[in-house]
Chain A
Amino acid sequence: MNQSQDEPFFIGWAAPPDLLRPFLAGVALGLLLLAGVFAYLVSATQDDPGDGAFMGRAVAHGVLQTDPYPVLHVVESERYEPGTPLILSGNGKIGVRDRASKVDGQYVRAAGTKLERGDLSGLQLANGMNGLRPADGAIPQIETDDLGRWRLTGEICDGKCLIGAMRPGRGLAHKACANLCLAGDVPPVFVATDKVDGSEFFLLANADGQSLGDTMMDYTAIFIEAEGRVEKRGNLNIFFIEEDTVKVIR
């Protein structure tokens, strides 16, 4: 077909031939339906992110323990029940060990943003002395109870995102974030498939009772089986994980 020099090449949005109209309408509707079905299938295969969330400002007074990770055992607070253990973290993906070690074992005032997921609570500390400082008050004895040696199945998460800083704060999709948090010394939490002494959440430590460091990063965010001693410190379970017993569940 010859085209004259003056005739524009662009044909504009030509009307479709009558014969093609039903076909095109069918394709358009089919694609819409397919998009909906695909969106449903993708979302239906995702795990429920749970009810963890930031819960606003909070102040708590209590006893601070630094090892294996900084935890505040609440004595007095308007936002937490007395005896609640708070997993402490800083802004972003960092822990607060440096600040906490200066007031280890002391009665302190902690302030920041409340994190809560079920019966697990945390506090993202405000910066500087506003976030953490010594306070006046009697230091209660934090009871320690050896619950024995256990084989647990579950997932290693970071104790900030899991409690509500991110949704989802667990699972494979969250693995890189969890590892960054653990590298920043945010306390790791083991979420077990079964409860021990009433709780499925365990603060993690290595078999010597020290912080994990970066030894478990290959095992975060996936289901693993591990053995170790479990201790109840205040109202918080601590799992002293024996690294040579860790197995990925297939």
Chain B
Amino acid sequence: MAAMILLTGQIYLAVGALVALPFLVVGLGRIDENAQNTWVFRPMLIPGVLLIWPLVLWRWIVLETGRADEPARHRPPLTWQPRLTLTLAVLLPFLIFAALVIRQDGPFERPAVQLEDGL
């Protein structure tokens, strides 16, 4: 199991490296005009890209294809907040009381039973 987890992590980071190379050499300058013709800082982004390469890839595609709707990025958390608050308000007390109900409570008075006499 541990070897499986390790292998999965290695594959994930290897794919991240494959994403980081074209993104930092070509993509970054195309989606951010402030990054054009600046190179020294780009190697510093390599560890970050290795870790969050699916997000990097997704944002690269969105910005490259012109589908980016910047204000929309801030809307989803706000629209979900009331529902999330209500859900937590119901769920948390439920979890606490469920834990109190199903937790083991005794037996405190069960008698000891002698199965065989001593030698």
Interface check A43, CB cutoff 8 A:
no
User: Which residues in chain B, 100-117, are within 8 Å of chain A measured between CB atoms?
Assistant: 100, 103-104, 106-117
Contact B112 A192 (CB under 8 A): yes
Interface check B77, CB cutoff 8 A:
no
Contact B110 A153 (CB under 8 A): yes
- Given A172-B103, A223-B104, A223-B106, A152 contacting B112 (CB threshold 8 A): yes
Contact A249 B107 (CB under 8 A): yes
Complex partner residue of A145 from B109, B114, B116, B118, CB under 8 angstroms: B118
Contact B118 A147 (CB under 8 A): yes
Contact B113 A150 (CB under 8 A): yes
Interface check A227, CB cutoff 8 A:
yes
User: Which residues in chain A, 125-150, are within 8 Å of chain B measured between CB atoms?
Assistant: 145-150
Contact A150 B111 (CB under 8 A): no
Contact B114 A149 (CB under 8 A): yes
A151 to B117 alpha-carbon distance, docked (Å): 12
| Distance between B109 CB and nearest chain A CB, rounded to angstroms | 6
| Distance between A173 CB and nearest chain B CB, rounded to angstroms | 11
Interface check A196, CB cutoff 8 A:
yes
Looking at chain A's contact residues, the main secondary structure is strand
Give the A interface residue count (CB, 8 A): 23
Contact B103 A151 (CB under 8 A): no
Complex partner residue of B110 from A193, A227, A250, CB under 8 angstroms: A193
Contact A153 B107 (CB under 8 A): yes
Complex contacts, B117 vs chain A, CB 8 Å: 148
Contact A148 B108 (CB under 8 A): no
User: Which residues in chain A, 148-196, are within 8 Å of chain B measured between CB atoms?
Assistant: 148-153, 172, 192-196
A26 to B117 alpha-carbon distance, docked (Å): 68
Complex partner residue of A195 from B107, B112, B115, CB under 8 angstroms: B112
Complex contacts, A225 vs chain B, CB 8 Å: 110
A225 to B112 alpha-carbon distance, docked (Å): 10
Complex partner residue of A193 from B103, B109, B118, CB under 8 angstroms: B109
Interface check A216, CB cutoff 8 A:
no
Write the chain A residue with the least CB distance to B103. Answer: A172
Interface check A45, CB cutoff 8 A:
yes
Interface check A222, CB cutoff 8 A:
yes
Complex partner residue of A151 from B104, B108, B112, B118, CB under 8 angstroms: B112
* CB pairs A–B below 8 angstroms (27 shown): A45-B100, A148-B114, A148-B117, A149-B114, A149-B115, A149-B116, A150-B112, A150-B113, A150-B114, A150-B115, A151-B112, A152-B112, A152-B113, A153-B107, A172-B103, A192-B112, A193-B107, A193-B112, A194-B109, A196-B112, A222-B104, A223-B104, A223-B107, A225-B110, A248-B104, A249-B104, A249-B110
**Which A residues are within 8 Å of any B CB, using their own CB?**
45, 145-153, 172, 192-196, 222-223, 225, 227, 248-250
